[in-house]
Amino acid sequence: MIGLGIVVVALVALAVAFVDVAAIYQELRRARPVYMLASSLFLLAGLACFAFRWRFLLQNKPGFWHTFHACNIGHAGNILLPGRVGEPARIVVIGQEETVSYTEATSSFVVERLFEQMMRLLALATAVTLGSGIKPTPGAIGGGVLFLAVMFSLIF
């Protein structure tokens, strides 16, 4: 607990030293509260979907809140620390639940990452196609959907 306190104090000190707090304050004052609320709600909804997806892969064994907090600990670790250490932290936290073994947590994490990478590739292909002005044909769209369906079924 003392170590965590030292890390938090160090992070706050670094943030104050390297971040223009006055500029952040000015930007927050100019922000519209409605947009801030909407973006916060969308962020929470996205985090909840992330937790539901991982919980689905774990066959609904851990409770939602435990999974939700494990995911958020992983995200915080990835944001605050180098080397994506949030990923193993997320596995450790979910593996501490009695109903989930570390093997299940790790394998579900790998499958979840495969899903995410396929969706990123789909988003990249869509952005390149639409950004370059190419008009996709119905056959190309159908082929892409079929490819995704086959890949998802192979993962399952």
What's the pLDDT tens digit per position in 55-111? Answer: 888 888 888 999 999 999 998 888 888 888 888 889 998 888 888 888 888 888 888
Q: So what's the pLDDT on residue 68?
A: 92
The dihedral built from the CA positions of residue 42, 48, 51 and 57, taken in this order, carries a sign that is negative
Map out the domains of the chain as residue ranges. Answer: 1-30, 43-155
Most confident of 36-45, 57-66, 140-149: 36-45
Better-scored residue on pLDDT, 51 or 15: 51
SS3 of 1-35: the string is CHHHHHHHHHHHHHHHHHCCHHHHHHHHHHCCHHH
Q: How confident is the model at residue 133 (pLDDT cuts 50, 70, 90)?
A: confident
- Quote the CA–CA distance of 64 and 70 in Å, as a whole number: 10
Most confident of 14-18, 47-51, 143-147, 148-152: 47-51
pTM for the whole thing? 0.68
DSSP structure string for 33-87: HHHHHHHHHHHHHHHHHHHHHHHHHTTT-S-HHHHHHHHHHHHHHHHHSGGGTHH
- Cβ 87 vs Cβ 109: under 8 Å: yes
Q: So what's the pLDDT on residue 155?
A: 65
